[in-house]
Amino acid sequence: MEHPGIASQGASAREGRRRGSVGGARVRTEHCVRGQPRRHPVAGAGPGLAPTPVTRADGTAAAAGASVLTPPDVVRSAYAELAVTDLDRSRWFWVDLLGFAVTAEEDDALYLRGYDELTHHNLVLRQGPEAALGALAYRVRSAEDLDRAEAWFAALGCATERRPAGAVRGIGEAVRVEDPLGFPVEFFFAAEHPERLIQRYDLRRGAEPARLDHFNIVVPDVAGAFEHYRSLGFSCSETIEDEHRLYAAWMFRKQSVHDVAFTGGAGPRLHHLGFFAHEAHQILHLCDVLGSLDEQAHIERGPGRHGVSNAFYVYLRDPDGHRVELYTSDYFTGDPDHEVFRWSVRDPRRRDFWGNAVVASWYAEATPVLGLDGKVRPTTELTEVAEVTVGADGFSEDRR
Ligand code: 4SX
Ligand code: FE2
């Protein structure tokens, strides 16, 4: 299906990856299909999405510099921080059942990683007053990319914060921002490297999670989120769309299907964290264990085979309702001529290749996010209603 809005893996995304002059006021016009200006029917810029001129606290105008800014060179989605209300119960779920390795433990925090992970952690669970997302953290390629991140988001008018090494245990100096989509996002370069566990088969439990694979975020304007991440140099692997609207998109920096994906709905909210397992049997084994322990209520959707990404999956809900996906066998996207794979919203295989229905909670429920001030951020409802309402991606009662 030809879609007016989403460029197949065109020049603009690759330009971004080559770290050309994408930035500032030029960002929007570079989003084109073979030279055509990008015109999406629902691409409402929304406050803060376009790099509008801003005046910094010191009175200097950021706008003039914005056109020469380059985005930070993002390597991958690396870790997330979740606020949980009962750390002991979270430990039971994430460590004893799912099988994460514990890098470090404090009275009010747990630092967990998968067995392939070389970074200090993939997940921080922090005791808090309510369940929430504290941060989505991306690793960048160099220390200079921290400066680029700070300048880039300041030029967008976003709140930014420079954090010293150790502000998060195991993580070097970092920049935290409240991004234009309303999410608390961290960029870091350096991290401590704990013991290599790749061949410690003797330690493994549960689904033997290997590493963080992706973030999935809920946003009221999917096309706007797509634009924002494209300006940061992310490429698109797959979409769900019709002739009127972009319902969902999967975008990557590392050479897999995604580092981040967007689900339409009231946002900003975290939809799920996706963790990679090496083999489908590890995911099935975890489901068997949950059944044996009469803990099957933690299974929300699947197991199954996604249409989008081709990954084998299951979604679980942790004791606070945070959603986690165990995910395996997606594909390599590193070839430069990789084309966007576009699913019609009418294709019943798009979300489950075997046609199984998606449960209503999967579309409706998600985790609130914290601002840099540590307070829960208000959400914005979906602004646009699909002209053609098909399945749950069109927000009807049909939850396929
Ligand atoms: O449900 S989808 O098939 O659209 C899907 C959801 C594909 C890949 C994912 O990681 C995901 O969370
Ligand atoms: Fe996912």
What are the pLDDT digits (tens) for 128-172? 999 999 999 999 999 999 999 999 999 999 999 999 999 999 999
The pLDDT, as a whole number, for residue 386 is 65
Cα distance between the two ends of the chain: 20
* Ligand 1 atom with minimal separation from the 351 CA: 3
Nearest bound ligand to the CA of residue 362: 1
The pLDDT, as a whole number, for residue 391 is 75
- Whether residue 365 is predicted with pLDDT greater than 60 in this model: the reply is yes
DSSP for 312-332, written as a single string:
EEEEEE-TT--EEEEEE----
* Ligand 1 atom with minimal separation from the 271 CA: 12
Instruction: Report whether residue 327 contacts ligand 1, using a CB cutoff of 6 Å.
Output: yes
From the CA of 355, how far away is ligand 1's center (Å)? 13
Q: Which two tokens stand for residue 131?
A: 């369940």
Q: Which of 351, 359, 400 to mutate to test the pocket of ligand 1 (most atoms within 8 A of CB)?
A: 351
Cα–Cα separations (whole angstroms), residue 164 to 108, 110, 143, 188, 190: 20, 20, 13, 10, 11
Residues 6+ apart with CB under 8 A from 91: 110, 125
pTM (two decimals): 0.86
Instruction: Report whether residue 311 contacts ligand 1, using a CB cutoff of 6 Å.
Output: yes
Could you give the CA distance from residue 261 to residue 277 in angstroms, rounded to a whole number? 19
User: What is the arithmetic mean of pLDDT over 67-93?
Assistant: 96
* Ligand 1 atom with minimal separation from the 216 CA: 12
- Whether residue 89 is predicted with pLDDT greater than 60 in this model: the reply is yes
Nearest bound ligand to the CA of residue 308: 1
Confidence of residue 382 (pLDDT cuts 50, 70, 90): confident
Residues 223-248: tens digit of each pLDDT: 999 999 999 999 999 999 999 999 99
Instruction: Report whether residue 351 contacts ligand 1, using a CB cutoff of 6 Å.
Output: yes
Instruction: Report whether residue 216 contacts ligand 1, using a CB cutoff of 6 Å.
Output: yes
Domains in the chain: ranges and CATH: 11-51+203-368 (3.10.180.10), 74-201 (3.10.180.10)
Strands (E), 85-171: 101-106, 109-113, 123-127, 132-140, 160-163
The pLDDT, as a whole number, for residue 349 is 96
* Ligand 1 atom with minimal separation from the 213 CA: 10
Flag the least confident range among 46-55, 100-109, 137-146, 179-188.
46-55
Instruction: Report whether residue 301 contacts ligand 1, using a CB cutoff of 6 Å.
Output: no
Q: Whose CA is nearest to atom 2 of ligand 1?
A: 351
